[in-house]
Structure 1
Amino acid sequence: MPRNPRRPRPPARRALIAGVLTVALTAVGASAWALDRYVIEHVEISDVSAYEASLSATPTSDATTGSTTSSSTSDAVVTATSYESDGAAITISTVTTGTGSSTVTYYVADVVLSDATSLRSAFAQDAFGLNITENTSDIAADNGAVFAINGDYYGFRDTGIVIRDGVVYRDEGAREGLAFYRDGTVEVYDETTTTAAQLVADGVWNTLSFGPALLEGGQVVDGIDSVEVDTNVGNHSIQGAQPRTAVGVIDSNHLVFVVVDGRSPGYSAGVTMTGLAEIMQGLGATTAYNIDGGGSSTMYFDGEVVNNPLGKGQERGTSDILYIAG
């Protein structure tokens, strides 16, 4: 008896199967793209130290340490440690304000540079590219730093102007940046209106590409609590009370760096962007700029991490630091 011929699949069923396969393949492709873009390391320059050494000299300094003092007011408890070298005079202060779930702990580095080029930058694993990370303390130790903070996490994005130690690494203007000049001035600028080559020609030594600007002319910038730095895949909101890192300008070659711990109720809740601006304003800064925060917020001094990242004492890898050599 002859077998029944195979019945053709209904068009709707074939379409459904094709649709499922298409979605599956698309999901696989999207996952592969996301891994490639945000996880897998892409090294563009594998030996940054050698690369920069071929273009500029590295300054050296002799250091001496100072003393530690403590004080308190009705609003805050402050502990300070001083350090002096040929490159900079540094005072590190720990400030605790508030009580209970409103407690905020932050760390201030008041830095007077003898020369603007004493403030240097270093990359994770001494390499430039995407998704290359290392703990702030490890990058600092590798570069003989006495003081360091996390940078702008340039390796998370492929846009922005990246100039470090006078060397151009990226020229993709996209946002509001911060420029450190060789003459000691620091200013917020619009990356989309210039080029990296022009900035170097104008005397720029380092740039940061994150934001937003917190203070302009000593005044808190309007609307900073609603700013989004990135809109790409993997971006997290920077609104609300968060751990923070910021750079402020008091005068020529006189800077203030702040790291705020957060997401640890009872120890430190973190601050809003406006709260961070107000801290910088209270320290006497006239210009201030927000850089990468959250779990990246780290301050390193004299061989140790002085803050408590996320209340766990555990650093999160980042792509770069700003530092002063010991």
Structure 2
Amino acid sequence: MKFILRILLLTLVSGNIYAQDLDSLAFTKAKWNKNSIAKKTKVYTYQFSDSSLFNANQYISFVEIKNHKKAPGFFIGYDKKDLITTSAFAKKHHAFAAINGTFFDIKNGGSVDFIKVNDTIINQNRQEKNNKRALHHKAAVVINNYQLAIKKWDGTDQWENNLSDKNMMLSGPLLMLNNEKEVLDSVPFNKLRHPRTAVGVKPNGNVLLLTVDGRQGNSAGMSLFELAKIMQWLGCSSAINLDGGGSTTLWAKDYGDNGVVNHPSDNKKWDHEGERKVANVIFIKGKP
């Protein structure tokens, strides 16, 4: 009996490793469509069809901004009350590209996560009913001198208020930091597949603004465990999850008919028209 159990265990483990190898191989072989949208900045898109990635169809799009003095700078766009589409935020700020930001109050507007812009606090965290810190309050995108980085909660109550960064957007969960994978809880939000939005930073300082479409036959969406894998396969050493679902939107100037690169799911159609209005974004534009 023990021998049979060992064989079954080895079969399960080897099968799981084999599946991971197939996924990473499919990802490595992808021939991404590339479009330059600004200096040192490109849009990448790829449709994984025939259930070739994580046993599902997937559509992934991202903007990569090189760590270069001629590249655009990073900014946070927000509105305290009104909800606005990512594309409208981008056009308002004359951006080259933008993605939806962190979580927000869909009924009343405004971020439910801490946001600071130009050293001014715009929103504080809205506490959970159990007074525990939410998963999306345990990490942050920070921007200083138009450069973006990712930070992790240090365990203190006033962490975000004590940081000296000029611009900050809390979100999460954190996927990895400095080449160390984060341990993700097995809660439904992490395990189930949804459209996803993420920010990643490579060891050389290049930044990725990424979306994964979901809730469609052409793209199933990803769990956070799967999202962490693709961020790693893209070469990121740090990565953070932002608000996803119907909010997931990537916009790039002069891209396609309306600039929307991915297929937002709010209209339940496989097109570029289904944007959800959001409270905040991360965008890039020329440095002043």
The TM-score normalised by the length of structure 1 is 0.64
What do the CA deviations read for 1:45-97 (whole angstroms, capped 9, x no partner)?
A: xxxxxxxxxxxxxxxxxxxxxxxxxxx98843410112334xxx211100222
Give distance in 1, aligned partners of 2:120 and 2:72.
12
Contact 1:77 1:97 (8 Å CA) reproduced:
no
Give distance in 2, aligned partners of 1:93 and 1:165.
30
Letter of the 2:113 partner, please give it.
Answer: G
Give distance in 1, aligned partners of 2:150 and 2:276.
28
Aligned residues: 234
Deviation at 1:216, TM superposition (A): 2.6
Gaps of 5+ in 2: 1-25, 127-132
* 2:199 corresponding residue in structure 1: 247
Deviation at 1:187, TM superposition (A): 2.9
Give distance in 2, aligned partners of 1:74 and 1:90.
21
Contact 1:244 1:259 (8 Å CA) reproduced:
yes
Contact 2:141 2:171 (8 Å CA) reproduced:
no
Helix, strand or coil for the counterpart of 1:121?
strand
- From 141, 152, 162, the equivalent of 2:115 is 162
> Which of 1 and 2 has greater Rg?
1
Give distance in 2, aligned partners of 1:98 and 1:121.
34
- From 87, 94, 108, the equivalent of 1:144 is 94
Contact 1:119 1:324 (8 Å CA) reproduced:
yes
Q: How does 1:120-139 map to 2 (within 5 A)?
A: 120-123=75-78, 127-129=79-81, 132-139=82-89
Deviation at 1:253, TM superposition (A): 4.2
What do the CA deviations read for 1:230-267 (whole angstroms, capped 9, x no partner)?
A: xxxxxxx45411110000111364211210001111x1
* 1:233 corresponding residue in structure 2: none
* 2:283 corresponding residue in structure 1: 323
- Compare relative contact order (CA 8 Å, sep 6+) and give the higher one, 1 or 2: 2
- From 153, 172, 180, the equivalent of 1:190 is 153
Looking at secondary structure, tell me which structure has more helix per residue.
1
Give distance in 2, aligned partners of 1:158 and 1:318.
9
- From 233, 242, 256, the equivalent of 2:208 is 256
Contact 1:185 1:252 (8 Å CA) reproduced:
no
* 1:306 corresponding residue in structure 2: 261
Deviation at 1:217, TM superposition (A): 3.1
Gaps of 5+ in 1: 1-71, 228-236
* 2:166 corresponding residue in structure 1: 205
Give distance in 2, aligned partners of 1:290 and 1:143.
23
Looking at secondary structure, tell me which structure has more strand per residue.
1
Letter of the 1:160 partner, please give it.
Answer: D
Contact 1:94 1:106 (8 Å CA) reproduced:
yes
Contact 1:77 1:96 (8 Å CA) reproduced:
no
Give distance in 2, aligned partners of 1:189 and 1:96.
32
Deviation at 1:104, TM superposition (A): 0.5
Contact 1:186 1:249 (8 Å CA) reproduced:
yes
Identity across matched positions, percent: 24
